[in-house]
């Protein structure tokens, strides 16, 4: 009789076959940590993107800071303008010479015997 060739099992001698449920559980336990790491890294990247570009992120915050600086400068300029106008009002209320100068410049008033000439505005030549 010819010898029959049988395939040797690659299992260790005396080891029993592992049931499918236990193999699946072992596979899930081995993959849980890498999958959890991938999910954690993904969430961290999502949170980082939201912190930088989100509705209240760093880029919006920087734009608001620049807008705030511009508005603060505008407020400072308007306060200086208001102070200058208050001084002008004080001078007009107390100084007759200032009243006369203002009347001559803006209202084109003249003293008796004076003649006012209006010259055309000069054109700028390049």
Q: Which of the given ranges, 55-69, 70-84, 90-104, has the highest pLDDT on average?
A: 70-84
Please report whether residue 79 resides in a domain.
Answer: yes
Please report whether residue 37 resides in a domain.
Answer: no
Q: Which of the given ranges, 27-31, 67-71, 89-93, 111-115, has the highest pLDDT on average?
A: 67-71
* Overall number of domains in the chain: 1
Please report whether residue 63 resides in a domain.
Answer: yes
Joined tokens for residue 75: 């407020």
Burial per residue of 14-40, b for 16 or more beta-carbon CB atoms within 10 angstroms, e otherwise: eeeeeeeeeeeeeeeeeeeeeeeeeee
CA angle, corner 123, sides to 121 and 126, nearest 5? 160
Please report whether residue 114 resides in a domain.
Answer: no
Lowest mean pLDDT among 18-27, 38-47, 86-95: 18-27
Tell me the pLDDT tens digit for each residue of 19-41: 888 888 888 888 888 888 999 99
Q: What residues make up the domain containing 63?
A: 56-108
Please report whether residue 61 resides in a domain.
Answer: yes
pTM score, two decimals? 0.49
Please report whether residue 64 resides in a domain.
Answer: yes
Segment 40-57 shows an average pLDDT of 90
First to last CA, the chain: 119
Please report whether residue 99 resides in a domain.
Answer: yes
Measure the CA–CA gap between 109 and 126, rounded to whole angstroms. 35
Measure the CA–CA gap between 112 and 117, rounded to whole angstroms. 15
Instruction: Region of 40 please: left (phi>0), alpha (psi -120 to 50) or beta.
Output: alpha
Say what the pLDDT of residue 69 is.
Answer: 98
Work out the pLDDT band at 10, boundaries 50, 70, 90: low
Say what the pLDDT of residue 14 is.
Answer: 53
Please report whether residue 40 resides in a domain.
Answer: no
């Amino acid at each position: 009789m010819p010898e029959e060739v049988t395939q040797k099992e690659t299992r260790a001698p005396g080891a029993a076959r592992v049931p499918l449920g236990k193999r699946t559980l072992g596979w899930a336990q081995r993959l849980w940590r890498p999958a959890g790491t991938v999910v954690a890294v993904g969430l961290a990247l999502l949170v980082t993107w939201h912190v930088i570009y989100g509705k209240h992120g760093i880029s919006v915050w920087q734009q608001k800071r620049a807008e705030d600086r511009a508005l603060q400068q505008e407020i400072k300029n308007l306060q200086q303008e208001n102070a200058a106008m208050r001084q002008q009002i004080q001078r007009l209320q107390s100084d007759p010479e200032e009243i006369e100068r203002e009347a001559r410049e803006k209202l084109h008033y003249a003293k008796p015997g004076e003649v006012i000439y209006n010259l055309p505005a000069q054109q700028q030549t390049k």
